[in-house]
Every structure is written in C-alpha cells, then in structure tokens.
Amino acid sequence: MSFSSLVSNLTFRDSDPEDRSQFSRSRSFASTAATSVSISGDISSQLHGGYSHPLARSWQAERQLTKSMLIYPLFISDQPDEETSIPSLPNQYRRGINKIIPFLEPLIQKGLQSVILFGVPLAPGSKDAHGTAADDPQGPVIQTIRLLRARFPQLFIVADVCLCEYTSHGHCGILREDGSLNNQLSVDRISDVAISYAYAGAHCVAPSDMNDGRIRAIKLKLIEAGIAHKIVLMSYSAKFSGCLYGPFRDAAGSCPSFGDRKCYQLPPGGRGLARRAIARDIQEGADIIMVKPASSYLDIISDAKNIGKDMPVAAYQVSGEFAMIHAAAKAGVFDMKAMAFEAMEGILRAGATIVISYFTPEFLDWLSH
C-alpha cells in the first residue's frame, strides 16, 4: 500500500459513520493516533525511541569523552617541598618538584596520559622585567620536564609558554618604557623559552601569551634547532580576556601589577577576530589550535573546527569555569559530577577533541566505572 493511500484509508476509517460506539471509537482512536501522527505528519517526528536506552542516548553524541582527550594542569613551585592548596581553585595545589611524582603516580595508574605545566617562581627576587626565570635550567618547569620524562616515559608533557609568571610586572611579554607591549622583543624571548622547554624534553609547547607572530617564530626556531619533527606546537589561538582566569592567577601568582591583558587577549564579543587569529596561527605552523575559556565560547570552538578542518582542536576549561561549577554544586544548584559531564559534553559537541581540565582526576575515576 502506498503512503498516500494508507493516509487516506486512515482518514476514511476515522470518519467512518458506522464506527460510532464508544468502545470502537476509542479503540479506533487508540489504534490510529500513534500511526496517524507519524504518517500524516513526517515519519521522522518520532524521536524518543532513538534515545530510549542509556547506551542509545550515548550514541547520539558524535564523540565520547575518553581519558586520552584530557590534559591536567599542574602548578609547579620553585620551593621543592611545597604542597599548598589554592583556596580559589578547589582541590588544586601548588607543588614543588619533590611532591610531583607521588602525586602523579596514582593518577597515571588510573589512566592519566597528559599534563600541562605552569611554573610558579616564589623565591624572592626571581621575577624581573624580561621573565629571566622562565627558562632557568634549574627552574621548576625545566626540572620537572626532565624528571617526568625519566619517571613516566608514557606521559605526554605539555609546557605552557608564557612570561607572566616570571615578569615583575606580571604581563605576558616584555614592555616598553611607557608600559605598552613590545611585541617583537616578546616574541623573540617567548620563542627562546619554548625552544628550551622543547630541548628539556617537553612533547608539546603551548604559547599562551597571545603576542602576534609567536607561532611562526617558535616553529622557525624548532626547525632551525632540528627538532620541529618531534615537538607538537599547540597554540592558544583564541584566548579571550575576561574574569575567568582569577583563580589561575592566584595559583600562579601572575596577576598583572598594573593594567590588564586586553591589548593582547581577545574581547569576548570578538568572534571574527578569533576566526582571524585561528586562521593566522594555522598558517604560521600551529599543530593544534586551542580555544579558551571553553563553555562560554562554544561557538568559537565550532568555528575553530570549521576553519581548522584537518586540525585537532583543544579547549581549555579554565580555572574560573571549574571554580564556578564547584561553587554552584556547593550551593546546591546541581550535582557536581552531572554538571562536569554536561559541560564536557557541550565542549566535545562544539568540536573539541582535547580538553584541558582541572576535573581530570575526577574524570579518570568517573570514566573507570
């Protein structure tokens, strides 16, 4: 029977004058309603069945969160025995090099595959105008890269590359006398720092400074050094300025002493600018492009996936996003695990396949069950 004759047959049956008894009428109603909804309308109107089982629900996502997508941020202090909690960043600690291995061991057993390192120089006098401590061979980042390479050969080590933790003024580059950013000097310096992290053994260098042209400079220096073939260059391409980095700056001690980062980080409404920054960084030789923060910028993640069709896209669920979820869960707004998954699903749906998240230790547990 053709679709249209089936529909007219049903219509006929519904209006059959013989079919008036309460019983048969309701039977007729019951027997045709479901069918007529789907048949007189579009058959694709019936969706519930497709996600009627938890497994079928999970199949609706284009990609599922796996442990290999997660990168865990670590704050490494220059005080070897330090282990200090960061009040604005729940469950996160600043650790000295002597505390890193015992901390990571159980996480690696649970399936942790990658970390991103941020150095935190606390020693008096360790900060200056050029961020000299950033590539100090005895400094916490370079020492920790070497240690982790030796102790955990399978662990993928990302080194965040920036000067703000190391400069006396707390900005992400080198400044002119009038306090404005000197892009050229900053790029020269930041690319040097990236090369020293790569030499120390980082698998990936990730410049977060947002100076113009740093991806090209780093790629060229990696090529000149003969190590470009074994180092992943992950660019914080679309990094927006805003209030979500506060807990990180508490943790890393990297709050600017004057002004803000608006002349180098993107304005939150700047979608076109983000697209240009992403396209530029791909042209300059980035291997992975990153969007940061994540949940308020899902359209940018989606743009990144479109512009960089053949590139992996990373998203950084930043300190403020993490702290918000914790605070709201504590206030009874929602269950923390449910929200952590929901946020993560949004980030993956937008197009990311790599996520930097402070929830990584929890996800390693949650994904094991």
From the annotation, which residues make up the binding site for 5-aminolevulinate?
Answer: 249, 261, 319, 358
What separation in angstroms does the CA of 235 have from each of 51, 139, 214, 259?
37, 23, 9, 24
> Least distance (Å) from ligand PBG to the CB of residue 168?
16
Nearer to Zn ion, 56 or 255 (CB): 255
Instruction: Give the footprint of ligand PBG on this chain (CB under 6 A).
Output: 160, 162, 164, 172, 208-209, 245, 248-249, 254, 261, 318-319
Whole-angstrom Cα distance, residue 195 to residue 295? 31
Assess 162 for contact with Zn ion (CB under 5 A). yes
CA-angle at 360, arms to 96 and 111, nearest 5° = 90
- 155 closest CA partner among 242, 275, 74: 74
Whole-angstrom Cα distance, residue 340 to residue 322? 9
Assess 195 for contact with Zn ion (CB under 5 A). no
Nearer to Zn ion, 256 or 285 (CB): 256
| Residues in the annotated binding site | 162, 164, 172, 249, 261, 319, 358
Candidate list 292, 305, 309, 330, residue with the active-site label: 292
Candidate list 127, 219, 239, 305, residue with the active-site label: 239
What separation in angstroms does the CA of 24 have from each of 10, 19, 137?
15, 6, 87
Nearer to ligand PBG, 100 or 252 (CB): 252
Number of other CB atoms surrounding residue 45 within 10 Å: 10
Q: Name the segment binding Zn ion (CB under 5 A); options: 57-65, 110-118, 164-172, 269-277.
A: 164-172
Task: Give rounded-to-5 percent helix, strand, coil for the chain.
Answer: 45, 15, 35
Residue 21's φ and ψ, nearest 5 degrees, are -65, 150
Nearer to ligand PBG, 112 or 290 (CB): 290
> Least distance (Å) from Zn ion to the CB of residue 45?
51
> Least distance (Å) from ligand PBG to the CB of residue 316?
6
Nearer to Zn ion, 163 or 344 (CB): 163
Number of other CB atoms surrounding residue 262 within 10 Å: 10
**Known catalytic membership, residue 110:** no
Over the window 172 to 191, marking each residue x when it contacts Zn ion by CB under 5 A and - when it does not, the resulting string is x-------------------
What separation in angstroms does the CA of 242 have from each of 194, 207, 225, 265, 297?
25, 18, 36, 9, 12
| Site of tokens 């219509």 | 11
> Least distance (Å) from Zn ion to the CB of residue 254?
6
> Least distance (Å) from ligand PBG to the CB of residue 6?
59
**Known catalytic membership, residue 309:** no
Which residues are catalytic, by number?
239, 292
Which residues would be at the binding site for Zn ion (CB under 5 A)?
162, 164, 172
